[in-house]
Amino acid sequence: MDMRKLVVASLLAASTAIASHVAAARVDVDVLIAPPAPRYEVVPAPRHGYVWAPGYWAWDGRRHVWRSGSWMKERHGEHWVAHNWEQRGDRWYFHGGHWDRD
> Model confidence over 10-50: pLDDT tens digits?
445 544 444 433 445 656 689 999 999 999 999 999 999 99
Query: Which residue spans within 1-102 are E strands per DSSP?
Result: 28-31, 50-53, 56-59, 64-67, 70-73, 78-81, 84-88, 91-95, 98-101
pTM (whole model) above 0.85: no
